[in-house]
Chain A
Amino acid sequence: MIANALVDWSRAQFALTAGYHWIFVPLTLGLAVIMASMETLYVIKKDEFWKQTAKFWMKLFAINFAVGIATGIILEFEFGTNWSNYSWFVGDIFGAPLAIEGILAFFMEATFFAVMFFGWNKVSKRTHLLATWMTGIGAGISAIWILVANSWMQHPIGMEFNPDTVRHEMVDFWALVLNPVAIVKFFHSVTSGWMTGAIFVIGISSWYLIKKREVRFALASIRVAAIVGIMGTLLLMWSGDGSAIHVAKYQPMKLAAAEGLERGGTGAPFSVVPGVEIPKLLSILATHDTEGIVPGIEELKQEGEEMMLKGKVALDAFKQYRSLKNTDPAKAAEVRKVLEENVDYFGYGYIESTDELVPNVPLVYWSFRVMVGLGGFLLILMVVVLWAERKGKMIQWIWLQHVALWSIPLVYLAGQAGWIVAEVGRQPWVIQGLLPTKAAISSISVGAVQTTFSLFVAIFSLFLAIEIRIMLKAIKEGPKTNIK
């Protein structure tokens, strides 16, 4: 038997690593655009003030960047160390975007990061600006490829199961890359990073305003950040809408869990919080039709029963094929046909009860509300801040400065909640319908994973604590703009 504890600890470790990684990555994505915009202003306006402003945010960028890299490498290798079966079963598809990410994006980031930090006096102004943008673009490109990989897990396309090699094999590279889920997910993730960067910059700048320091710097930073943040959030909303449509289509159980929808049907209402519903809104969000059908958890469980039967047939046919393929080719061809007819349900063969098909509903339900609620609040905040800055009210409105400052943790909470919806919501699947999480693991001892989990908790928490401390010191010291 697969030890449940091993599956749980492996999941916990991956969630821990991914969760920590997503503390550092969105700030990298967002800050990159903001500081590159500032440096662009420096090159255009030839005003030293913008250079120093950009350099200050770069300093914070660098502190954050290092920890993002540290958590990122663990994530990559955990596919192998903790999800060994997964690595073989879908490595033919999943490995490719990971390798491309390295070749195309990481080298770009690594090369231009060094130029950005140490090249101020070594390369021309324009080359330096190019390096800054390329660092950010490199980060964006790396996001494309890892999200292509992730989206394929949510909506697997462009592959075929090969019972001879016992894995899924890629048959259409462009289907993988142009997976509609990937495109939407890319915009949703990257622009949530823009929002994170914007709220971070606005919050810290507001702290300077509260302290009545660095006023020109703070107002200028707020202006750039709010514009980037608002643009990002508009894309974030658009891609969020696209996400809902995809989830309804490809992962209906995730949607039902996110809504806590026990029983569905046509004209489904949207649950704001338990007991408060907006009629028909869920159908509109999920299908863009007031009378669209949204199945609930119970209906999906019933459907699941049928799929589980097909899954057992597929798994059984696979087993027979493996034993017959060298001894009785004619019979093997027959069972292979049966396998092919049912292969879409292969993963359901591992499922023992329909209850397994339901993810953790309260966690997904509340995470969804946290994400959307905070996202909406932060958008309003940015609009108000930009308006106040333009109208010269930002310095007066001390309450707004405080709200902006204390919104920094909220944007992180929203980002984490988003990934909980995406990743907890898709359980029990690691590859939707094809491979359940419990069949994706490595054959290692629970004790080993418990030990590494504890180690990672200690190491990542230490790094986070140090990063926050160093950032606070750097913020207190302030930018050296010299121009008030």
Chain B
Amino acid sequence: MITYEFLQQYWWFLIALLGGLLVFLLFVQGGNALIFLAGKTEDQRQLIINSTGRKWELTFTTLVTFGGAFFASFPLFYSTSFGGAYWVWILILITFVFQAVSYEFQGKAGNLLGKNAFRWFLTLNGCLAPLLIGTAVGTFFTGSAFIVNKNAVANVGAPVISRWIGEWGGLEAVLNPFNVCFGLMVTLLTVSLGALYLLNNIDDKPLSAQLRKALVRSFVAFLIVLVVVLAQLLTMDGFGVNADGQVAMMPYKYLHNLLQMPIVLVLFLVGAVLVVAGVALTLFKQGFNRGIWFSAPGTVFVVMAVFMIAGYNGTAYYPSTADLQSSLTLSNSSSSEFTLTAMSIVSLIIPFVIAYIAYFWYKMDVLSITSAELKSSDKY
């Protein structure tokens, strides 16, 4: 029997899936963070840009769809988070906006700012977007200071339902070290994924050596930050919904979530093993460059598990520190049963969409990119 509650859980699953795919596809950003670090010559930089440049629209589209799906399924999150953490979201958008034009503009005559300016925009987006998105996701566990009052609609003079305390437009999230570590962790992961992807997609020996070096550094740093984040996450008090339907602080909430949902625990562990395996095989097995094939699904699984810990098992996924009862849960922030049902039917098309993307991805990437290919006209 498909109940309202099932639909809410199903849509949180889809949000988790999209979130997982988004973080995986942020390999584009991670790769761009390496344009100048790993790309030492003009040819190498060109190779990196042309490699991520064939995939950036998928990342961008996934971000847009992630936003759209959140809007459609949990509109109170859309209105509360975006309307309050104004500056965080605007900054994320601006870095993406610069990225969107930079591929096309960087290599073209008449681009006003010069080639390097646009490459720096790509690099900046590569570093900042995962950092900011990660920091924003960190607040799913630490909370933000907002109040939701639906009665406000009757107040002609001040009808806005969601209000944030403070004037920083969400930037105050950086005051919490957990959020920043979370952002840093996502950034380092995406850089590792970027390096793995480029290793697989580009056939260029000197560049490969530099990418491997970057991979070692970013992944070791990632592991260190990961340990810090996990240690905090699994010991912190979490925002749970108690038997009376009230949101309350619960000790070790997220650890309990992981233990009480064995499937999520397995998903998390399998994902983690895959991520590590992808990197380890690449670094230790001679001539192996298919690490992304392991680390990519691994990333999707881990991120999905993180979203599930945040939202399932009676947890407030977008908690308010200003008023616990304003915290957003799957049940108080979702769309109506009718809308979720209609959208669920639409969602059945997702496997088909993934299939055609995968097919054409395969067709396009069957051969690695080489410097020779960049001599042709089909390039950025």
Residues of chain A whose beta carbon lies under 8 Å from any beta carbon of chain B: 1-2, 62-63, 65-67, 69-74, 76-77, 79-89, 91-96, 98-104, 106-107, 109-115, 117-123, 127, 131, 162, 165-167, 169-171, 173, 315-316, 318-319, 322-323, 349-350, 352, 439, 441-445, 448, 452, 455, 459, 462-463, 465-467, 469-470, 472-474, 477
Are B76's CB and A88's CB within 8 A?
A: yes
Are A99's CB and B68's CB within 8 A?
A: yes
Are A80's CB and B378's CB within 8 A?
A: no
- A interface footprint on B334-376 (CB within 8 Å = 1, 0 otherwise): 0110110011001101100100110011011011000000001
Main secondary structure of the interface of A (DSSP, over half): helix
Does B236 belong to the interface (CB within 8 Å)?
A: no
Are B163's CB and A102's CB within 8 A?
A: no
Known contacts being A69-B57, A87-B75, A122-B363, is A77 close to B378, with CB within 8 Å?
no
- A interface footprint on B140-177 (CB within 8 Å = 1, 0 otherwise): 00000000001101101111111110010100000000
Shortest Cβ distance from A120 into B: residue: B378
Q: How close is A135's CB to chain B, nearest CB, in angstroms?
A: 11
Q: How close is A173's CB to chain B, nearest CB, in angstroms?
A: 4
Shortest Cβ distance from B87 into A: residue: A448
Known contacts being A69-B60, A76-B64, A122-B364, is A91 close to B100, with CB within 8 Å?
no
Are A70's CB and B160's CB within 8 A?
A: no
Q: What chain A residues lie within 8 Å of B157 (beta carbons)? A: 1-2
Are A98's CB and B72's CB within 8 A?
A: yes
Are B161's CB and A166's CB within 8 A?
A: yes
Are B68's CB and A444's CB within 8 A?
A: no
- 17 CB-based A-B contacts, threshold 8 Å: A73-B100, A77-B67, A80-B67, A85-B161, A91-B335, A99-B68, A110-B60, A114-B54, A115-B360, A118-B379, A119-B378, A171-B338, A444-B84, A459-B97, A459-B98, A466-B105, A469-B110
Looking at the complex, which of B88-96, B184-192, B257-265, B319-327 is the stretch in contact with chain A? B88-96
- Give the complex CA separation of A382 and B47 in angstroms: 43
Are A87's CB and B154's CB within 8 A?
A: no
- Give the complex CA separation of A334 and B277 in angstroms: 64
Are B94's CB and A455's CB within 8 A?
A: yes
Are B364's CB and A118's CB within 8 A?
A: yes
Having A77-B67, A107-B61, A470-B105, one finds 19 other A-B pairs with CB under 8 Å, namely: A2-B157, A69-B60, A69-B100, A73-B97, A74-B93, A80-B78, A85-B162, A88-B80, A95-B68, A95-B78, A100-B343, A103-B350, A117-B378, A170-B336, A318-B153, A466-B101, A467-B101, A472-B110, A474-B108
Q: What chain B residues lie within 8 Å of A62 (beta carbons)? A: 104
Q: What chain B residues lie within 8 Å of A170 (beta carbons)? A: 336, 338-339, 342
Contact of B100 among A70, A442, A469 (CB under 8 A): A70
Are B58's CB and A110's CB within 8 A?
A: yes
Q: How close is B357's CB to chain A, nearest CB, in angstroms?
A: 5
Does B112 belong to the interface (CB within 8 Å)?
A: yes
Shortest Cβ distance from A319 into B: residue: B154
Are A106's CB and B154's CB within 8 A?
A: no
Are A73's CB and B64's CB within 8 A?
A: yes
Are B65's CB and A102's CB within 8 A?
A: yes
Are A113's CB and B57's CB within 8 A?
A: yes
Are A88's CB and B75's CB within 8 A?
A: yes
Are B159's CB and A85's CB within 8 A?
A: yes
Does B1 belong to the interface (CB within 8 Å)?
A: no
Q: What chain B residues lie within 8 Å of A118 (beta carbons)? A: 54, 364, 378-379
* A-B interface, 5 closest residue pairs, ranked by CB to CB distance from nearest: A84-B83, A91-B75, A80-B82, A102-B65, A95-B72
Q: How close is A32's CB to chain B, nearest CB, in angstroms?
A: 15
- Give the complex CA separation of A445 and B87 in angstroms: 11
Q: What chain B residues lie within 8 Å of A122 (beta carbons)? A: 363-364, 366-367
Does B69 belong to the interface (CB within 8 Å)?
A: yes
- Give the complex CA separation of A118 and B163 in angstroms: 47
Q: How close is B158's CB to chain A, nearest CB, in angstroms?
A: 7
Q: Which of B82, B98, B379 has the most CB of A within 10 A?
A: B82
Q: How close is A474's CB to chain B, nearest CB, in angstroms?
A: 7
Q: What chain B residues lie within 8 Å of A92 (beta carbons)? A: 75, 335-336, 339
Known contacts being A98-B72, A106-B65, is A169 close to B339, with CB within 8 Å?
yes
- Give the complex CA separation of A93 and B65 in angstroms: 16
- Give the complex CA separation of A312 and B151 in angstroms: 15
Are A76's CB and B67's CB within 8 A?
A: yes
Q: What chain A residues lie within 8 Å of B76 (beta carbons)? A: 88, 91
Does B63 belong to the interface (CB within 8 Å)?
A: yes
Are B78's CB and A79's CB within 8 A?
A: yes
- Give the complex CA separation of A43 and B82 in angstroms: 47
Q: How close is A443's CB to chain B, nearest CB, in angstroms?
A: 4
Are B162's CB and A84's CB within 8 A?
A: yes
Contact of B79 among A87, A169, A444 (CB under 8 A): A87
Q: How close is A208's CB to chain B, nearest CB, in angstroms?
A: 18
- Give the complex CA separation of A467 and B111 in angstroms: 8
Q: How close is A282's CB to chain B, nearest CB, in angstroms?
A: 35
Does B113 belong to the interface (CB within 8 Å)?
A: yes
Shortest Cβ distance from B55 into A: residue: A114
- Give the complex CA separation of A171 and B337 in angstroms: 10
Are A70's CB and B101's CB within 8 A?
A: yes
